[in-house]
Amino acid sequence: MMAVGQGLHVRKNDLVAVIAGKDKGKRGKVLKVIPKTQRAVVEKVNLIKRHTKPGGASKQGGILERENPMHASNLMLVCNKCDRPVRVGVSRLADGKKVRVCKKCGEIVG
Predicted confidence (pLDDT) per residue in 42-101, tens digit: 999 999 999 999 987 778 889 999 999 999 999 999 999 999 999 999 999 999 999 999
How far is 24 from 103, CA to CA, in rounded Å? Answer: 22
Residues 72 and 44 grouped into a single domain: yes
Q: How confident is the model at residue 5 (pLDDT cuts 50, 70, 90)?
A: low
CATH number at residue 33: 2.30.30.30
Residue from 94, 97, 92, 90 nearest 8 by CA: 90
How far is 105 from 14, CA to CA, in rounded Å? Answer: 18
Residues 49 and 71 grouped into a single domain: yes
Domain holding 94, by residue range, is 79-110
